[in-house]
Chain A
Amino acid sequence: GQQLNQSPQSMFIQEGEDVSMNCTSSSIFNTWLWYKQDPGEGPVLLIALYKAGELTSNGRLTAQFGITRKDSFLNISASIPSDVGIYFCAGVTSGTYKYIFGTGTRLKVLA
């Protein structure tokens, strides 16, 4: 099935470091969502973005809707051990109800 490209696939970082990840699409989206999924649980919504260039924060997390509308970025500042998990982006195009998800970025934080 169709999936968005997320980069990096996985990353190990030291506690306290900042993290950046991105998501790219071949299609233009009008909404971008970012989720975190822990083992054995469903994805939890972190941030929703609705227009090109929009920058939205949720605590230590900041996400941006790319100006081309084909990409989005997520930054985590001062990472802590509980940031460990898989981060997914998801996007939807105008006129459809089908959110397409990315391949995920696995984050591991070394204390």
Chain B
Amino acid sequence: DAGVTQSPTHLIKTRGQQVTLRCSPKSGHDTVSWYQQALGQGPQFIFQYYEEEERQRGNFPDRFSGHQFPNYSSELNVNALLLGDSALYLCASSHGPNSPLHFGNGTRLTVT
């Protein structure tokens, strides 16, 4: 039973560029949430996707956007990258919007 898988594991981008991160949820899960984790901090909620719609959004600018596909996988897009966007981006899946989150191992994004 595959857990949550994320790709790529590491990424280095230059300020101003755009990036796309990908997530496949755990088998049987239909909801995907994205979190940003800065070094030494707890994860911060970016947004959640359920039934291919963004259900709730955290305090992140419009440069952060996402998508959920019919097979429940999801993408996180970040435009016009800033140095401060450097972080671990975590994808979590759940069986429904309010159920406990199961996390992948994240994508480490470094913006130079």
Give the interface of A toward B (CB within 8 A).
1, 3-4, 31, 33, 35, 40-45, 48, 88, 90, 92, 96-104
Stretch at the interface among B11-19, B43-51, B68-76, B77-85: B43-51
Pairwise interchain contact A104-B105, C-beta atoms closer than 8 A: no
- Contacts between the two chains (Cβ within 8 Å), count: 64
Question: Which one, B35, B42, B90, B100, contacts A102 given CB within 8 A?
Answer: B42
CB nearest to A104 among chain B residues? B42
Q: How many residues of B contact A (CB 8 A)?
A: 26
> What CA separation (Å) do A87 and B59 show in the bound complex?
24
List of B residues within 8 angstroms of A44 by Cβ: 103
Q: A98-B45, A98-B48, A101-B42 are in contact. Are A45 and B101 (CB under 8 A)?
A: yes
> What CA separation (Å) do A88 and B103 show in the bound complex?
13
Q: A100-B45, A101-B43, A104-B42 are in contact. Are A42 and B59 (CB under 8 A)?
A: no
